[in-house]
Amino acid sequence: MMDFEIINSYIPRFLEAFRLTITIGWLGIALAFVVGIVVAFVQHFHVPVLTAIAKVYIELFRNTPLLVQLFFIYFGLPKIGFQISAEVCGVVGLGLLGGSYMAESIRSGLEAIPPSQTESAVSLGMTKPQLFWNVILPQAFTISLPAIMANVIFLLKETSVFSAISLMDLMFTAKDLIGLYYNTTECLFMLVVSYTIMLLPVSLVGRLAEKKVRYRMFGD
């Protein structure tokens, strides 16, 4: 049987872990979005040299686990003189991993715009900046939105590996309490509830935003 008195006593520790997890998670997602936009634009506009670097970056980070990337940043970089905290490591690691996924999502949206859209806008006398901001970018964002929201949820779930670099996140807290008091059922219950509270609103907001954007763009 689950002991709710134990759960109640664990709430303060899980709240602190929740605050840390969600703070680092969203900072990492913000960094991922910035990196993704830059890399997607570099690829879309075929910037010399940078396009090749962008492709290597995407393949490297999409094909290695976040845990390996965190270990390299947290334990490997200090060997060559770059000492960073676990919190910064979490943000940077999540941001670089997420940036590789965001870049592909945004690039796909940019490349999905039919050439006829561009040709029609040019025939109407639009300048290149007007074409980009008023025609290409809104449609690309609409097309990319489902993939972007899926990436956000994926990255928030990936925060569960932060415990490997001694961050007092939700997973670390649950494992610590289980090791100390052996209340496995109660700790796992709190862990499931915490991640559900973190992820469910994001999923619901993403669906509503997608419907709203599509309605404004296409009226359906």
Taking residue 189's Cβ as centre, other Cβ atoms within 10 Å add up to 17
Residues with Cβ within 8 Å of 58's Cβ and at least 6 positions away in sequence, in order, are 39, 100, 103, 104
pLDDT band at 216 (very low <50, low <70, confident <90, very high): low
Express each pLDDT in 5-28 by its tens digit. 999 999 999 999 999 999 999 999
- 191's tokens: 């862990």
d(CA 212, CA 220): 9
Confidence (pLDDT) at 15: 96
How far, in Å, are 59, 64, 108 from residue 144 at the CA level? Answer: 20, 23, 7
Confidence (pLDDT) at 201: 94
Contact 196, 183 (CB under 8 A): no
Across 129-144, average pLDDT: 81
Taking residue 151's Cβ as centre, other Cβ atoms within 10 Å add up to 24
State pTM to two decimals.
Answer: 0.90
Domains of the chain with bracketed CATH: 4-218 (1.10.3720.10)
**Mean pLDDT of the chain, nearest integer:** 90
- 56's tokens: 């290597």
